Structure 1
Amino acid sequence: MERPSSNDISSAKAVMLGALASGVNGPTWLVLKIIFLLLGVCLTAMLSLAFSASDFIIAGHVLLLVIIGAMLFILLNGFLAQTGLVAVEEQMKEMGILNNEGIEKGKRN
């Protein structure tokens, strides 16, 4: 039986597995970092608009959202530094996908 290597698995499939299986794989963590970057860009734009409009109540609320987002990213980063990333193959094996693909490939030959 031939096992699929990590190069055979698409990034979209790896992210989907990361969302459904336990643990976080590399592609899922990359997507999360990109999402946090985009969230930071949006909140920074909102903060600059609130300051330019001289509406300090909204600026305070947006600043609170910036702090919450930054703390969430820092805590997630620290948690993953302690636990480590999971290989995509391990997640496939846990969900039972890896064995099924190998059996299907064997039946086709």
Structure 2
Amino acid sequence: MEKDKQSDISSAQAVLLGALAPGVNGPTWNTLKSAFFLLGLCLAMMLVLAFSSSDSSLVIHVGFLVTITAILFLLLSW
């Protein structure tokens, strides 16, 4: 009887229930880590381009974005 109730849940309801449940499952955590890795890679490339343009305000701006990303990832990992 409970299996019938579980199959009646739509995908939107499953996402909402998963978001409200405590903890993070493995696939979600792996996806989050890979997204942060790719974001860090993009920001590192932007930082290299900012250094090559010799624009100090751009270097500071992108450096700040890299710092925010690193701190957020460390806080989520902790």
| TM-score interval, smaller chain | 0.7 to 0.9
* TM-score, structure 2 as length reference: 0.74
Report the number of matched residues: 65
- In 2, distance between residues paired with 1:53 and 1:25? 42
Report the structure number with the largest CA radius of gyration: 1
Report how far residue 56 of structure 1 moved. 1.1
Percent of residue pairs identical = 54
Between Structure 1 and Structure 2, the one with more helix by share is 2
Unaligned runs of 5+ in 2: 4-14
What's the counterpart of residue 20 of structure 2? 21
Runs of 4+ in 1 over 6 A off after TM superposition: none
Unaligned runs of 5+ in 1: 4-15, 79-109
* Higher RCO structure, 1 or 2 (CA under 8 Å, sep 6+): 1
* TM-score, structure 1 as length reference: 0.54
Report the RMSD for the aligned CA atoms in angstroms.
Answer: 2.0
Deviations 1:12-56 (A, max 9, x none): xxxx47852322111100000000000001000110001001011
Kindly indicate whether the alpha-carbon contact (under 8 Å) linking 1:43 and 1:62 is maintained by their aligned counterparts in 2: yes
